[in-house]
Amino acid sequence: MTDVVEGPAVARELAAGSGSISYFRSGSGHPLLFLHAAGGAGVWGPFHERLSGSADVIAPDHPGWGGSDDLPELRGVDDLVYHYLDVLDRLELDRVDLVGASFGGWLAAELAVHSPERFRSLVLLGPVGLRIPGHLVADLFLMTPPQLVAALYHDPALVERILSVAPGTDQIVATYRELGSLARFGWRPFLNNPRLESRLHRISMPARVIAAGEDRIVPRVHCERYAAGIPDAELVVVDDCGHALYGERPDAVAEAVVTFLSERAGGRS
Amino acid sequence: MKFNFFHLMPYPYLPDDFDDLEKYPSMSLNYSNANFDPARGVQLYHRYLDELEHADAVGFDGIVVNEHHQSGYGMMPSPNIMAAALARRTSNSSILVLGNAIPIRGNPLRVAEEVAMLDHLTNGRLVSGFVRGIGWEHFAHSVSPAESRSRFNEAFDLIRKAWTTPGPFQWVGEHYEYRYVNVWPRPLQSPHPPIAVPGAGSPETMRWVAENRFLYVSVYAPTAVVKTWFDGYRGAAADIGYEVEREKIALAVPVFIGEDERSAHEEARRHVEWLFHKGLRQSAEMVFPPGYMSPPALRGLLKANLKPYPELSYSELVEQGYVIVGGPESVRNRIGELRDELGFGQMMTMLAIGDMPAELVRRNTDLFANEVVPHFRTALATAG
């Protein structure tokens, strides 16, 4: 769980579908679209701040998360793909670096498959989205809040610190809404698109898959299969880190993203 | 007043260390079916059907079966099969299926067909209930809780139309698409079997049940909470100019009658505790998974601050009205008081509570039939 940084990033509103979404935008450089994980909406944290040192970071809340409306007309991940293509069009962003974490990593991969020409590079952080029998993503819907926190973070002291503060009613209701949105998009098939893996060959931009060294939500093989299926992809591992990745080790994860962007994406814009 | 005999058909043979919460967090979803002994299962099914048939024989107005999945709490994944087994072995009681969990069925037309068949098998004694299914059953049958309500609504509309509109017709909805809807048989009762729906405080459900004049049935809750539900239902009906008949409101509650007050509590306690502390041991995530309720409904639930069932002591369960326990006279009086306070005209009495042995269920059923039911028949006759 990241601390909120007091900075120039303030939530903005963008009309979308039947309502509006909320997004942060800050930094300078090439535009970078960051798609958050199932948790972590509505927050501009140290990870975002670090990325914004070298990129124009656009970080929207998914429909049904954070400050965004539910947009109930969106019923599947394919709808979210068109939603984000609309967002890029509306913001007049022609070609961006795309970074997605966990559920957002799945969306990023689907976007890159759908419209490879819109993305200069792709970074997936502990992505879900592939169907791998025998290695299913953990059933986070069935976990109690303490179980979920303990599964997300590797550092026991961090787990203890997060659990030491009892959530208020507003927080419980907000989390329930966001997990309900995750259920809308990913209950069945469970956080995967059975067709996605066979389409990864369409991802023509350079890609980096960043795995958490101690991921108890998404088995490592998911990252390995993404890295194997995307033609120009490499797999790196952030050690001593749980599935929360940018929520647990924001500096190390941001470093892994920024390094990749400067080495592989920068020269080709 | 109508009295219905409600059965859950639990699996009572638990391992000795079942109180180990780490090992057995629930009796549902993840409680391995390696713990199900088929030799005992076959005895239980026949015993439980005997108990329902006996209730018919001793004059209950209705006998009630229901649907649960992947659980020792209730062994009726298909209530329609149980209703069919009872149809030709009983002759007087209504048979209430409370109910078919239509959101978690893949094919609502199958439900329309089966219930229509049951209406014929029972010679029109069927009451057709519809439920959403408990949260854990959406895990069990892999249906998104976020779709549960809209699947319920669409499946219900389709089933009712299939029963009442001459086919074939087309159905194209959000969840279901059929080019040919033309169910054979149509139901015997016209326009269709009476509909019953359980409610647990959702204003949407109250309004919908009132608009359609269905039977509204409570679920386990303190008397004070059930009162707000029944008042809410009457209020929703009044808003559309409909005064609810008492018979359209049913209190569902476990009831135990002993020879006298003291022995009743001595005997009932372990079985009531079995039901609430073991049978209903389940996490909030299992009962209300994400998407199952709207965020405002969750806020209301948190505000109500109800204890999870396993945390309620026996005396709390009795005092708050989750169960009725006592000698014949006190049970009779209590039911009379509750009827006056809550304004219901039917009861779904659970007289086979948790792991009660067959002899005790038989005694409880007979005491209820002999010591309670006639009193309310007479009262009704006098009042009428």
**B144 vs A172, A174, A187: nearest CB:** A187
| Residue A201 clears pLDDT 80, i.e. is over it | yes
* Percentage of residues of chain B with pLDDT beyond 90: 93
Q: Tokens for A206?
A: 């350079």
Say if the Cβ atoms of B139 and A181 lie within 8 Å.
no
Nearest chain B Cα distance for residue A170, angstroms = 8
In angstroms, rounded to a whole number, what is the distance separating the alpha carbons of residues B287 and A207? 41
- Which residues, numbered 108 to 147 in chain B, qualify as contacts with chain A under a Cβ-Cβ cut-off of 8 Å? 138-139, 142-147
The alpha-carbon gap from B243 to the nearest alpha carbon of chain A, in Å, equals 35
- Pick from A141, A171, A184 the residue to mutate for testing the B interface (most B CBs within 10 Å): A141
Is B359's pLDDT higher than 80? Answer: yes
- pLDDT the model gives residue A1: 41
Rounded CA gap, A52 and A58, in Å? 9
Q: Is the pLDDT of residue B378 over 90?
A: no
Mean pLDDT of the A100-116 span: 98
B309/chain A closest Cα distance in angstroms? 17
d(CA B56, nearest CA chain A) in Å: 40
Which run of H or E residues covers position A207? strand A207-212
Nearest to B298 among A173, A187, A188 (CB): A173
What value does the mean pLDDT take over residues B243-265? 97
Do the Cβ atoms of A183 and B290 come within 8 Å? Answer: yes
Q: Which residues of A24-59 are buried (b: 16+ CB within 10 A; e: fewer)?
A: bbbbebbbbbbbbbbbbbbbbbbbbbbbbebbbbbb
Backbone angles phi, psi at B352, to 5 degrees: -105, 95
Point out the residue among A139, A174, A184 whose CB comes nearest to the CB of B144. A184
Residues in a beta bridge with B101? B131
Specify the pLDDT at position B204: 84
In this prediction the pTM is: 0.94
Core vs surface per residue B220-241: b (16+ CB within 10 A) or e: bbbbebbbebbebbbebbeeee
Query: How, if at all, do strands B62-65 and B2-6 pair?
Result: parallel
Contact A97, A263 (CB under 8 A): no
For residues B14 and A26, what is the distance between their CA atoms, to the nearest angstrom?
A: 59
Please answer whether residues A248 and A153 qualify as being in contact, where contact means their C-beta atoms are separated by less than 8 angstroms.
yes
| Mutation for B interface: A79, A136, A142, A190, most B CBs within 10 A | A142
Average pLDDT over residues A38-52: 96
For residue A9, the model assigns a pLDDT of 81
Tell me if B146 and A184 make a contact (CB, 8 A cut-off).
yes
Check: CB of residue A144 under 8 Å from CB of residue B283: yes
ipTM, 2 dp:
0.93
* Tokens representing residue A265 in the block: 């994406």
How much is the average pLDDT of B167-171? 98
In the prediction, which pLDDT does B305 show? Answer: 86
- Determine if the peptide bond prior to A63 is cis (ω within 30°): no
**pLDDT of A2 above 50:** no
Q: Are B299 and A169 within 8 A, CB to CB?
A: yes
